[in-house]
A and B are shown apart, each in its own frame.
Chain A
Amino acid sequence: MNRILEGKPLVILGSMISPHVFAQTEVVTKSETPFLVGATNAKVTMQGSKWLFRTHVHDGQLAELIPEYLVKTLGKTRPGIMAVADDYGLGASKGIQAALAKLKVSPAAVASYAPSDKDMSAQLLEIKDKDADSLILFGRPADVTLVIKQMNDLGIKLTTIGNASIVAQTTLNNLSAAEADGGYAIGGMIPQTSTDAKIMDWSKRVQDKYKVPADNFTVSYYDTVYLLKSIIEKVGCDKPAIRDALAATKDWKGMLISYQADGQGDLAHTLGIYRNKGKTPELTGPIKESGY
C-alpha cells in the first residue's frame, strides 16, 4: 500500500479481505484518499475513518438477517451453528448467536472448524446428536462444499442456510444436484439469477475472459467503478469532493441493487435470499436491512 500511495492515486479500490483493509486503513486515511472496499467484516466501517466506504453488504447484516429469515419465515427453532474458525466465521457466529437470542431462540450446538480442515464430520455429528432442526453454515466456498458433502455422506438431513458460499459457483461446481438442493443463502446479490439478458451476457463474458465465474464481489466492484465514474463526472478529480459525494450517495442504481450511504460509510443495504434448486441458485427475493 505504501508503494501505491507513493504514486499519489486519486482513489483506491481496496481489498475484499478484511485483514488487509484493517492493516491499510490508517495509512490510507492519513493520505486523505477515498478508499472503497468490499471487505465484509462488520467492524471495517467502525474504524472511524471518513475516507473509507464499503460498497458491498457486510457480515453484520448477515448476522441479523439469517436468523430472522430462519426463525420467522422458515419456522425453525433449534439451529445448529457451524462456522469457519477465523475472524470472518467466528465474528459472524457471535453476531448470529446474539441475533438468535433477541428472537428468543437458543442454538442446539455451536461448532467451528479450522479454515484448512478437511474433515468436519466430528462437528456435524455433534450437531446431529444435539437434535438440531436446521443448520446455519458460515464459511468460504471451499470448506462449505466439504461440510455439505459430508453432511450428505453422513445421512444428516437439515435445512441449511448461510452466507453466499452456499450458492457460489465454486461450491456448486463441486456438489451433486442432490447434495446442493434446498440450501438457502443470504448475501450480496449475484448475477446468475437475473432475468435481465444484458446482465446474463455480462456474467458470461466475465467467465470467458477470466476463467472464474462472476460473483457478488464482481458485481459490487463493477458497480463501484461506475459509481465513481458518475461522481467524477460531476465533481472532477478532487479527492475531498469525491469523498463528500460518496457520503451523500442516495438511491444510485447499480446492476442489481441501489446504493445509499449511511453514517458509517456503508452503501449497500439490500441483500438477496437464494435457494438452490439442484445445482442452480434461484432468487427467492430481496431482503433489506432493517431501516431501509
Chain B
Amino acid sequence: MKSWPILALSAAVALAVPVVARDGYIIQLLNIAILNAIVVLGLNFVTGWAGQINFGQAAFYGLGAYTTAIATKAGLPWIASPFVSVIVVVVASLMLGLPTMRLRTYYLAMTTIGFGEIVRLMIVHWEPVTGGTSGLRAIPGVSVFGFGPQGQVQHYYLLIATLGFAILIASRIRHSVLGRAMIATRDSEIAAEQSGVDTIRTKLLAFMIGAVYAGLAGCLYASSIRFISPDSFSGTQAVLLMTMLIVGGMGSIAGCVVGAMALTILPEALRFLGQWYLVLYGLGVIAVIVVAPGGLASLVSLSQLRRANAG
C-alpha cells in the first residue's frame, strides 16, 4: 500500500524537474530513464511477480521500437503505431512463451537469452528493412491529428504521463486475481496448482503483459529519440534491465522506477570512470545481491519496519 503524501510528492517533483533542470541533455537522459522504467515495470510482471526468469525483455523493447520505426517511416499514421507494435510484440511473446511454459530456471534463462539473440540477429541482418547495424534514423515523431510534442521537455511530460499510467495499471493488476495468481506461482508452482491456479495461463499472461509494456515503451522510444540501432536492444541491455529490477527491488513497483532511474543515470554520471565503470557496476550488482537481494525497496521497508518497532 502506498501512502498518498509520498505519491503526491513524487509526482510534484517529477513535474517540476524540467523547470529546474535547463540542460537539454539531462532531460533527454531522464526521458530514456523513464522509458527504461516502463520496460522494467513490464519485466516485473514476469520475473518479479510470476517468478519467471526472462532475458528476452530487451528483445520485446526492440521489436516495439523497430515495428514503430519501420511502420511510421513507411507512412503509417503515428496513431496506429502503438497498436501495430503491441500486436507484433504479443505474437512474439506467444512464440517465446508457449514452447517454454514448462521450462525451469536454467533452461528458461537460456531460452530467453536465445530468443533475444535470434531477434537481434534478425534485426541486424534484415538490412533493407531495419538498416542493419547502422540502425534507422529520421524516424517520424509522435503525432496525433497533426499535434505532437516538440523538444525534449514536451516529450518528458508525455513520457511521465505514460509512466504514471503504466504504474497505475501495474498496481491494479497487482491487487487483482491475476496478480495474486502470479505471486502464488512464483512462490511455489506446485502449491499454486493445488490451490486451483492455472499456472500455465498465469505465466503466459505475465509474459504477454510484460512484453506489451516493453513494446509500447519501444514505440515511444522510436518516436521520441527518433534514432534506433540494434545495440540498444542487445543481450547486454537485457542483463542491464534485469539488474535494474534487482537493484530497485524485485516485485516492488516503486523499486522498478528507482532501479531504472538509478542505473540509467549512473553510467552517465560516472562516465569519468571509463572502462572501470563496468567493473564496478558488476561488483556492485554482486554486492547488492549478496547484501540486499530485495534491492533498494527492501532496504526502505526494512527501515520502515525498524521505525515502526522503535516508535
Contacts and interface: CB of A to CB of B under 8 A. Distances in A.
Query: Do chains A and B directly touch (beta carbons under 8 Å) in the complex?
Result: yes
Interface of A: 2-3, 6, 18-19, 22-23, 26, 85-87, 90, 114-115
B133 A115 contact: yes
A19 B125 contact: no
B24 A6 contact: yes
12 contacts: A2-B25, A18-B134, A19-B134, A22-B137, A23-B137, A23-B227, A26-B138, A85-B125, A86-B133, A87-B127, A87-B134, A114-B125
A180 to B, nearest CB: 28
A23 B127 CA distance: 16
A85 B124 CA distance: 10
Given A19-B133, A26-B138, A114-B125, 7 more contacts: A2-B25, A3-B25, A6-B24, A19-B229, A22-B134, A22-B137, A85-B125
Nearest to A3: B25
Interface string B226-267: 010100000000000000000000000000000000000000
A2 B133 contact: no
A87 B138 CA distance: 18
B137 to A, nearest CB: 5
Contact of B28 (A2, A19, A23, A87): A2
Given A2-B25, A6-B25, A23 B135 contact: yes
Interface in B207-228: 227
Contacts of A85: 125
B127 A90 contact: yes
Interface residues of B, number: 14
B34 to A, nearest CB: 18
B18 interface: no
A6 B25 CA distance: 9
A209 to B, nearest CB: 17
Interface string B10-47: 00000000000001110010000000000000000000
B149 interface: no
A81 to B, nearest CB: 17
Q: DSSP majority for the B interface? A: helix
Given A22-B137, A23-B137, A2 B227 contact: no
Contacts of A18: 134
Contacts of A19: 133-135, 229
A18 B135 CA distance: 11
Interface of B: 23-25, 28, 125, 127, 132-135, 137-138, 227, 229
Contacts of B127: 87, 90
B133 A87 contact: yes
A22 B134 CA distance: 9
A2 B151 CA distance: 12
B132 to A, nearest CB: 6
Contacts of A90: 127
In the complex, the 7 A-B pairs of residues with the closest C-beta atoms, listed nearest first? A19-B134, A3-B25, A86-B133, A87-B134, A23-B137, A23-B227, A87-B132
Contacts of A2: 24-25, 28
A137 B262 CA distance: 45
Name, among A6, A23, A114, A115, the residue most crowded by chain B CB atoms within 10 Å (CB to CB).
A23
Nearest to B29: A3
Nearest to B134: A19
A87 B134 CA distance: 7
A203 to B, nearest CB: 26
A2 B26 CA distance: 11
A26 B139 CA distance: 13
A117 B28 CA distance: 35
Contacts of A3: 25
Nearest to B121: A114
A3 B26 CA distance: 9
Nearest to A85: B125
Contacts of B135: 19, 23
Contacts of B125: 85, 114
Contacts of A87: 127, 132-134
Name, among B25, B125, B134, the residue most crowded by chain A CB atoms within 10 Å (CB to CB).
B134
Nearest to B25: A3
A26 B127 CA distance: 22
A28 to B, nearest CB: 13
Contacts of B138: 26
Nearest to B26: A3
Contacts of A114: 125
Contacts of A86: 132-134
B155 to A, nearest CB: 13
A22 B132 CA distance: 13
A264 to B, nearest CB: 20
A2 B125 CA distance: 29
A70 to B, nearest CB: 27
A19 B127 CA distance: 13
A260 B127 CA distance: 34
Contacts of B132: 86-87
Contacts of B134: 18-19, 22, 86-87
A128 B277 CA distance: 47
Nearest to B137: A23
Nearest to A4: B25
Contacts of A26: 137-138
A290 to B, nearest CB: 28
A131 to B, nearest CB: 29
B118 to A, nearest CB: 14
Contacts of A6: 23-25
